[in-house]
Amino acid sequence: MSLPNDQLDGRHARFELRTLLDTSRMLIESHDLGFVLNNLLLISMGKLFSTKASILLYQPMKKHYVVARNKGQTGLHDNQLISLHLSDYLKNKDIIQCALDNDGTLPEPFSENELCAMFNMRTSTQHIGYLCVGGKANKEPFAEHELNFIENLVNISAAAISNSQLVSQLKATNHQLDRRVQEMHTLFDLSKEFNANVDLDPILRTFKFALLGQMFIRSFFFLYQRKDTPPEVVVQNGMKGSFSDAELGELVRLEHSVTRTGDSHRQQFPIIEANDIEALIRLELQDEVAIMGVGKRATNEAYSDGDFNFLQSLGNLALLSVQKTYLLKERIENERLEEELSIARTIQRKLLPDPIPAVDGLQIAATNLSSYQVGGDYFDVISKANGTYLAIADVTGKGIPASLLMANLQAMLHVLTPIQGSLSEATGKINDIIYKNTPSDKFISFFWGRYDHDKAALLYANAGHNPPMLLRSKAQKPVLLSEGGVLLGAMPTMMAYATGEVALSKGDIVVMYTDGVSEALNEIEEEYGEERLEACLIKNARLNAQGIMEAILEDVKAFTSNTYSDDITLLVLKKS
């Protein structure tokens, strides 16, 4: 015996209610988004006797929909992106029956022939997406109770989907946090490893293994440019070919902190194309620049912003450590050079007469102040049987080259002074030797003389040097000792050097000096000059030779605020 229709409807309603209750419990308890979507799709298709259906999930950040699940010939495919520009009327409907409600804003395939019903999935606070179902297999229209069932199922599923998405986001966030914590630990360990090494090779090896082991990067390079030096590749791995100087110069001019390489970069830099470099990372430390290039990862995983942050941190650690090794190397080199210069200065000081030989009838005072540890100024006092030789010289330039040439001059003077012959001939021989054995840009200004004890006269030759000043005991103005010829080393001796001779009486003063005295500069770039030197000499003429020399030095120091830009040498004679 068949049951009345109202009893059948009641049983059917109770069955659907139990189904909804069981389904809601199952969906809400599950936090697996795939499980929720699959069950929603299968239950809906089974209830409506449909052979095709899709679930579209809304992505609010990108303002489009993605096909999250798809079954049957819907005209859509998984992960397809769709933009729906529905009218406000359709957006507000819970159920859109495409054939009946289409107001012209529904695109294909949302039509009666394919996906003919769209159920709006939403919670009380957000729009989740749409469940899109095709028509019944028997071509019959959907019954009202069927649509109501699916609508209730969709409402339950919307909450489950929202919860699943939230859980997925939390898991992804936790995963990212775990990864960042791991990266922080890695960077901390690497920083300790970098700091433990002062040699370049182990630092670069640590950097290399970090990229290979932590980021799975097989092809990379690290180029470094120090201030005022050309860029150089300090470490690379898996790179084919070599960088041209032009490529290195252009790479260090990249401005962005992270540059994802594109077609323009591959055309500009052939080595990037050849090695499939994915990104270029610029690192800066004070005035120094480094460029790190990274190729594809062995896992084929794309680089994220977090990956680039890690690479920048790793690169900065490496750059700091590489800079440290260069600075340490420079410091060691400078200390070694300072030690060698100190030894050279000691040797050079021993080339100068100390103490100055005593000469009957003459007071002699001399000093040499170098602006560098070693310099090119020179003076000498050599006592020989035929008289006392007094010399002063200034080599062009400063530092070690000038000091070497000065040492050669000192050796020549000590060899040539004992020989028989004129002062003019000896000066010519010295000039020819220097001309043949020194670079064309090196010269020596030189003045020397021989004091004849019997005649109390000074015979001299001036080779391009500042003319010494001779101040007679009763004169108001000094005279200049300028007889001679060209600078030593400027050209071969083609004309004999002229000589001059001056008789010295009691109280007469001769001041020999280098241009470090006359060309000393004050704060406004004004030179001390011969006039100030002359005035200082006249003012202090009553003093002995030592006192005159000290007075001139004090006057120059006061003028320059005790700052020298050139070597200063003084040789003062006073007839007693």
**In the prediction, which pLDDT does 116 show?**
86
**In the prediction, which pLDDT does 212 show?**
85
In 423-541, DSSP assigns E strands to 444-452, 457-463, 469-471, 479-480, 484-485, 500-503, 509-513
Distance CA 155, CA 124 (A): 10
Together in a domain, 270 and 380: no
Together in a domain, 323 and 397: no
Together in a domain, 488 and 562: yes
**In the prediction, which pLDDT does 413 show?**
85
**In the prediction, which pLDDT does 354 show?**
81
Please list the alpha-helical segments (H only) found in 63-122: 88-91, 98-101
**In the prediction, which pLDDT does 551 show?**
95
Together in a domain, 390 and 519: yes
SS3 482: coil
Segments forming the whole domain that contains residue 31: 15-168
**In the prediction, which pLDDT does 1 show?**
38
Together in a domain, 413 and 302: no
Candidates 24, 10, 359; CA nearest to 158 is: 24
pTM (predicted TM-score): 0.52
CA angle 497, 431, 443 (to 5 degrees): 110
Q: Is residue 313 situated within a structural domain?
A: yes
Q: Is residue 511 situated within a structural domain?
A: yes
Together in a domain, 316 and 367: no
**In the prediction, which pLDDT does 129 show?**
93
Together in a domain, 164 and 205: no
| Look-up of token digits 């000290």 | 550
Together in a domain, 277 and 390: no
Q: Is residue 367 situated within a structural domain?
A: yes
**In the prediction, which pLDDT does 165 show?**
80
Q: Is residue 178 situated within a structural domain?
A: no
Instruction: Write the CATH number for 269.
Output: 3.30.450.40
For residues 494 and 462, is the Cβ–Cβ distance under 8 A? no
Instruction: Write the CATH number for 491.
Output: 3.60.40.10
Together in a domain, 512 and 369: yes
Distance CA 66, CA 56 (A): 6
**In the prediction, which pLDDT does 201 show?**
85
Per the structure, how many domains does the chain have? 3
Q: Which residues of the chain have pLDDT under 50?
A: 1-5, 7-9
Task: Give me the sign of the Cα torsion angle 439, 440, 441, 444.
Answer: positive
Q: For 373, list phi and psi in degrees, rounded to 5.
A: -65, -35
Q: Is residue 185 situated within a structural domain?
A: no
Q: Which two tokens stand for residue 326?
A: 């260069």
Together in a domain, 563 and 427: yes
Q: Which two tokens stand for residue 179?
A: 């990864």
Q: How many CB atoms lie within 10 A of CB 156?
A: 20
Within 13 A of 267's CA, how many CA atoms are on the CB side? 3
Q: Is residue 175 situated within a structural domain?
A: no
For residues 451 and 390, is the Cβ–Cβ distance under 8 A? yes
**In the prediction, which pLDDT does 5 show?**
46
Sequence letter at residue 546: Q
Write the Ramachandran bin of 421: left for phi over 0, alpha for psi from -120 to 50, otherwise beta.
left
Residue 394's H or E segment, with its range, is strand 387-395
**In the prediction, which pLDDT does 287 show?**
80
Q: Is residue 338 situated within a structural domain?
A: no
Together in a domain, 116 and 19: yes
Q: How far is CA 369 from CA 526, 533, 537, in A?
A: 20, 17, 19
Together in a domain, 292 and 376: no
